[in-house]
Structure 1
Amino acid sequence: MYLRHYQLQRKPFQITTDPAFMWLGEKHAEALATLKYGIQENKGFLLLTGDVGTGKTALIKLLLQQIDVSVLVATVPDPGMEAIDFFNFLADEFGMKRRFVSKGEFLIEFKRLLLAAHAAKRQVLLIVDEAQRLSPDMIEQVRLLSNIELENRKLINIFFVGQTEFNRTLLEESVRAVRQRITVSYHIEPLAEKETAQYIEHRLKVAGARQAIFTPAAIRRIHAFSGGNPRLINILCDHALLTGYSRGVRTIDPAIVQECERELRLPEMRAAEFKEKTASGFVAPGDGAPLSPQSPAGEGPPAWRLPALLVALLLTAFAGIVLYQYRSDPPRRWATEEIAPQSYPAITGAKREAAREAETQPAAPAAPAAPAPLLAAAGGDAPPREVSRETLRTNPFAQGKIILFFPHNSNELRRDVLEGLDEIAKYLKAEKHLKVRITGYTDSVGSLTYNLSVSQFRANSVRSYLAGKGIEPERLVAVGLGPKDPIASNDTPEGRERNRRVEIEPLRD
């Protein structure tokens, strides 16, 4: 929605992984080289760890693109399952074309697969993502797969990819055998301030930027808030561009970044900050607490000069502390554990071979139709209905609240949705007394904290767009409720698609 405003060709800070925007800083380039070496030299067990959002997903995607196409690859995106389910998942990934009812049956067939791959001079790679979800028993089950080997020759490389807490799991005595077998490991650290600036500049350049959009001070503020976490950098930068667009400015300064920080923090975080500020009994004027203890009653100069002097000193000290903290202390930021992980698709040898034959196969059945971009819901049990152009032009809320939909893990507004929002903005300009509530929702996949932040982000995106069309911000109430109040089942992809939505409804006095 803001591309033309900043003279960009594509959105630079999407939270989904896009290889076109891949930026290899020193840390990520070193990690990639280390992991490629481990695979090429058949080192057995490899380990990649890092906080959520530090770029593990993008790095693995790039690694899979660069390794030999003959390598048989299986990825397990979520290993939190029973052992027999884990083995059957591997069987499907490696194209073994059968299901197993016992571990013994699987190991017999799996050994045949490894020996056949060795005879064909093909390496086998197993990637276990979200490894921190592995129980000690499942870690041992994975280790036993590596016992299928020839003399002086590993038949499978096992690659653990997990969050930082997986390192603590590996220190447990029960998994010592696995810990001792890890020969190649790398931990991805967050970006330094200079790297954050390079990362932002790179993504803007790929998106077509012709001049700097973020001031150096704004980038410093972004780094302080995000802690150098690439995913948080993307979220904050995208929201800052949206805010700048709604204000009609083309340069993002620290004030805009600071405003976005406040909007992106969850209510619980804002309450915690207020509690910290008021813990000592001193709060800003108007917050309902005194700046100093009540002075004793009395008459004459000695009775009021001392309290007045104390108040003046306290005010000066308070202002100095606030100024110092603003200039030197990094603002409170999200804990990276509160951001849901992203998964990457499996790229297996069998699937590569199947892809080569895909052109000669009959077309697959059409997927279920996606929901219409804009629906109206009258309430009760009546299903939402598509909104006609005529209704949008005359009264968008004639049939009830408006519902619009989002792709997975995204705040992207589609073109047809933007056209509908334009009509809603025209209606709100005419109905100057009308306020609206903008409520964001997600599906149930991922952590509650992350879903709340994504839903608030989606609601803020719609609010900012309408504000940019001239609607007074005080008439637009944006709320994020995460996975609450689903309108479809979260057990199916189609149901989850319908639950990723924003609802706009009028608030009448």
Structure 2
Amino acid sequence: MYTEHFGLKMLPFENVPDPVFFFDEGEHARIRQRITESLKAGRGLVVVTGSIGSGKTTLSQMIKSYFSSKLQLIWMAMPPVNRMDLYMFIARELGLTPSSTETVFVINEIRDALLKINSEDGKCMIIIDESHMIADDVLDAIRILNNLEEGSLKLIQILLLGQDELMDIIKRPEMEPFRQRIATLEMIGKMDTDRIKKYVSHRIQIAGGDDSIFSETGWEALCKAFGSGNTPRTINSLCDKSLNIAFERGKNAVDVDDIYDVAKGMGLSREVFHYRLELMKKGKDATSTKEHDPVKDETSPSAPLLTGDVDVTSTSSPDISKIDRKSLKIPLLVLFVSIVTFIMSISSYCDTSGSSSIMTCLQQLFF
């Protein structure tokens, strides 16, 4: 394991929703603050969307930690199939055994249980993950649950987490009644390169390390790989694999070579390749230190690493005159065949035209 090699107390880039590693800066901090304030104020329905791996689940874990032990949390990893499944699941989580499966009776029992929780200064919150897979029937049930109130206070706080497709669902015209009841709507975007560097540094420090486990070229290559921005999950994967490769190679820091080798397998190598090529032309060390070998040569982003030294000042090139002579052979042959064919066609025409001479035939043909 590379943790001991790099002086880390724990793995810094595991793709699990751990609030300890939550990056509470920038957009994530702003969204976390808005959602927490909305839920604490009892405003009701909150919707958060974002692409795969954008940190929605980690965000929800962080939000949960802000509430007291009096919070009655109901967590659903997937949305239920229909509205009755949702009602019955909530009822069971609240310790209820509904005497009837009629919707109105189940909702009344849920309301009574929620009133009791709130009377004891408690809160009830339901979190539904993967909500982009939710059925319209269930969304309508959530709308009804959101209508359960005591004065101006919502009896149950609802947090829906889903991929960007969830936004497409709630934008449909028929979803207007549901859309009007959303208290807070947030969209998590990709991290830009500046935030990516801060994010990676943050996780390394939480794990007990420092920024030196990535060399100067390693940091730059990391930014090149994510030039158009990316999500925490992808960033974690690249960093974790790069650290593992650097460890296997006995290096003290991750450099451009390690980042590039991992980026190739993730489809992120194009800009890293050009950066390595630039370093090679300048004759710079991949690690920016004297302990490591220079950047090796290659001819394309997908080419394997070469182990031989490269003379970047070499001016040798193929004999251009030989290439030109070879390239002319085929066009000249085609031209010769075309001329012969043309002459034979004219001769055949003149033979069948009954002309008294070749000149007469040509005059008839062209004039």
Normalization by structure 2: what TM-score? 0.69
Alignment of 1:460-499 (within 5 A): none
User: Is contact 2:201–2:210 with CA below 8 Å preserved after alignment?
Assistant: no
The whole-number CA distance in structure 2 between the counterparts of 1:99 and 1:201 is 55
Give SS of 1:72's match. Answer: strand
- 1:105 to partner: Cα distance: 3.1
Indicate yes or no: 2:329 matched with 1:297: yes
User: Counterpart in 2 of 1:476?
Assistant: none
Indicate yes or no: 2:20 matched with 1:20: yes
User: Counterpart in 2 of 1:253?
Assistant: 255
User: Counterpart in 1 of 2:203?
Assistant: 203
The whole-number CA distance in structure 1 between the counterparts of 2:80 and 2:327 is 62
User: Counterpart in 1 of 2:291?
Assistant: none
Indicate yes or no: 2:246 matched with 1:244: yes
Give SS of 1:248's match. Answer: coil
User: Counterpart in 1 of 2:173?
Assistant: 173
User: Is contact 1:84–1:100 with CA below 8 Å preserved after alignment?
Assistant: no
Give SS of 1:47's match. Answer: strand
User: Is contact 1:88–1:100 with CA below 8 Å preserved after alignment?
Assistant: no
User: Counterpart in 1 of 2:188?
Assistant: 188
User: Counterpart in 1 of 2:122?
Assistant: 122
What amino acid does structure 1 have at the position aligned with 2:126?
L
Alignment of 1:410-489 (within 5 A): none
- Alpha-carbon distance change, 210 to 219 in structure 1, aligned in 2, over 3 angstroms: closer
User: Is contact 2:192–2:230 with CA below 8 Å preserved after alignment?
Assistant: yes
The whole-number CA distance in structure 2 between the counterparts of 1:216 and 1:164 is 35
User: Counterpart in 1 of 2:71?
Assistant: 71
Runs of 4+ in 1 over 4 A off after TM superposition: 97-100
The whole-number CA distance in structure 2 between the counterparts of 1:84 and 1:100 is 11
Show CA shifts across 1:77-117 (max 9, x none): 20042322222221222232558633233112112112222
The whole-number CA distance in structure 1 between the counterparts of 2:11 and 2:57 is 20
What amino acid does structure 2 have at the position aligned with 1:108?
N
- Alpha-carbon distance change, 257 to 169 in structure 1, aligned in 2, over 3 angstroms: same
Give SS of 2:222's match. Answer: helix
User: Is contact 1:73–1:94 with CA below 8 Å preserved after alignment?
Assistant: no
User: Is contact 1:136–1:174 with CA below 8 Å preserved after alignment?
Assistant: no
Show CA shifts across 1:242-264 (max 9, x none): 11111111221222211112234
- Alpha-carbon distance change, 253 to 135 in structure 1, aligned in 2, over 3 angstroms: same
- 1:35 to partner: Cα distance: 0.8
- Alpha-carbon distance change, 2 to 95 in structure 1, aligned in 2, over 3 angstroms: same
Alignment of 1:56-95 (within 5 A): 56-95=56-95
- Alpha-carbon distance change, 100 to 73 in structure 1, aligned in 2, over 3 angstroms: farther
Give 1 or 2: higher helix fraction.
2
The whole-number CA distance in structure 1 between the counterparts of 2:211 and 2:153 is 54
- 1:44 to partner: Cα distance: 1.9
Show CA shifts across 1:250-282 (max 9, x none): 22122221111223459xx99xxxxxxxxxxxx
- Alpha-carbon distance change, 299 to 188 in structure 1, aligned in 2, over 3 angstroms: closer
- Alpha-carbon distance change, 168 to 216 in structure 1, aligned in 2, over 3 angstroms: farther
Give SS of 1:79's match. Answer: coil
User: Is contact 1:214–1:252 with CA below 8 Å preserved after alignment?
Assistant: yes
Stretches of structure 2 lacking an aligned partner (at least 5 in a row): 271-298, 304-322, 336-367
User: Is contact 2:130–2:161 with CA below 8 Å preserved after alignment?
Assistant: yes
- Alpha-carbon distance change, 94 to 216 in structure 1, aligned in 2, over 3 angstroms: farther
Show CA shifts across 1:352-385 (max 9, x none): xxxxxxxxxxxxxxxxxxxxxxxxxxxxxxxxxx
- 1:234 to partner: Cα distance: 0.8
What amino acid does structure 1 have at the position aligned with 2:154?
K
- Alpha-carbon distance change, 223 to 169 in structure 1, aligned in 2, over 3 angstroms: farther
How many residue pairs match? The answer is 280
Which deviates the most, 31-40 or 96-105? 96-105
Give SS of 2:209's match. Answer: coil
User: Is contact 1:47–1:160 with CA below 8 Å preserved after alignment?
Assistant: yes
Which of the pair has more CA radius of gyration? 2
**CA RMSD, aligned part only?**
3.0
The whole-number CA distance in structure 1 between the counterparts of 2:191 and 2:240 is 18
User: Is contact 1:128–1:161 with CA below 8 Å preserved after alignment?
Assistant: yes
- Alpha-carbon distance change, 297 to 147 in structure 1, aligned in 2, over 3 angstroms: same
Indicate yes or no: 2:64 matched with 1:32: no
What amino acid does structure 2 have at the position aligned with 1:297?
K
- Alpha-carbon distance change, 78 to 211 in structure 1, aligned in 2, over 3 angstroms: closer
User: Is contact 2:218–2:255 with CA below 8 Å preserved after alignment?
Assistant: yes
Identity of aligned residues (%): 25
User: Is contact 1:223–1:233 with CA below 8 Å preserved after alignment?
Assistant: no
